[in-house]
Amino acid sequence: MNKFIEKKRKQQIINTVDRTGVKHSSVGYKYLITCVESVLLSGDRCFKVKDIYEKVANIHNVRWITIERAIRIAIKKANEDIKKKTNKEVISIIVDKIIYENY
């Protein structure tokens, strides 16, 4: 993927995550972005969330449970319509929005 496309995709992910109301100051924000990137790069929308957590944990040099917890806490503090969803649901919603915005 060329740099322009990568930068555009990253901005698209950030814009979509921002619409969920997850705060930039939350540690879960950067982990959520990396999770979405990982799912998009894999091309597999039927994913095991723990596998994604483990990939992201390796990237950020933390344990997978740290990723799960940080995202869960960030979601609980987000917009009303998203705060009652699971981490996997939120990741899937963001991935779907990005995929279908491009069609």
Structural domains of the chain, with CATH? 3-101 (1.10.10.10)
* Rounded distance between C-alpha atoms, residue 62 and residue 54, angstroms: 9
How far is C-alpha 35 from the geometric centre of its chain's CA atoms?
4
pLDDT tens figures, 42-97: 988 889 999 999 999 999 999 999 999 999 999 999 988 888 999 999 999 999 99
Tokens 């555009």 correspond to: 8
Residue 39 pLDDT exceeds 80:
yes
Vertex 89: Cα angle to 92 and 23 (nearest 5): 90
Q: What is the pLDDT of residue 2?
A: 66
Token couple for 50 = 């723990």
* Rounded distance between C-alpha atoms, residue 98 and residue 9, angstroms: 9
What's the whole-model pTM score? 0.92
CA neighbor of 33 nearest in space, from 61, 11, 3, 62: 11
